[in-house]
Amino acid sequence: MRIMNRPQSGSALRSGLITVGVICILLALAATLLPRGFSDDVTRIGQGSSTVVLVHNKEAVLSQELMTLLNRVRSDYEPDVLFLAVDVATPNGKTFAQAQGVNDSVILLFGPDGTRRGIIGAVRDESSLRAALNAAFAAN
């Protein structure tokens, strides 16, 4: 009696589906770890919440560093403080920056009534950023 070795096609299909499933789960978990995006709706300034606005230029290293710092401290200030970012490469961002009299790579701080409370420029570390935010929003 001769035993024939047949390939187990069901096994290969099952292994493939398991692999795809594991990859999908890992991608979903990785997506939840990404920092949330920033809104660019500057009409929200002065609507009752203190607001931090990053005037951003995606080509500038300092802008990238400021965005990274804001992402690190953001969760400690939300929901009391609103975080926005405007890109100076867009018409709305350029108009906003011009109206505020600033260039890119700065953080503007606004009180709940929309009054500007400060500008943060070349901050390079988290503790300096926290100190500036705490000083600007201490009266809230």
Is residue 48 a contact partner of residue 79, using CB atoms and an 8 Å limit? no
According to the model, what pLDDT value does residue 23 have?
Answer: 74
The structural domains of the chain, with segments of one domain joined by +, span: 42-137
- Give the integer Cα–Cα distance in Å for 84 and 91: 16
Cα atoms found within 13 Å of the Cα of residue 73, Cβ hemisphere only: 21
Residue range 42-137 forms a domain whose CATH class is alpha beta
pLDDT digit string, tens, across residues 67-126 = 999 999 998 898 889 999 999 999 999 999 999 999 888 999 999 999 999 898 878 889
Q: Is the pLDDT of residue 33 over 50?
A: no
Q: What angle do CA 60, 63, 65 make, to 5 degrees?
A: 110
- Give the integer Cα–Cα distance in Å for 59 and 43: 25
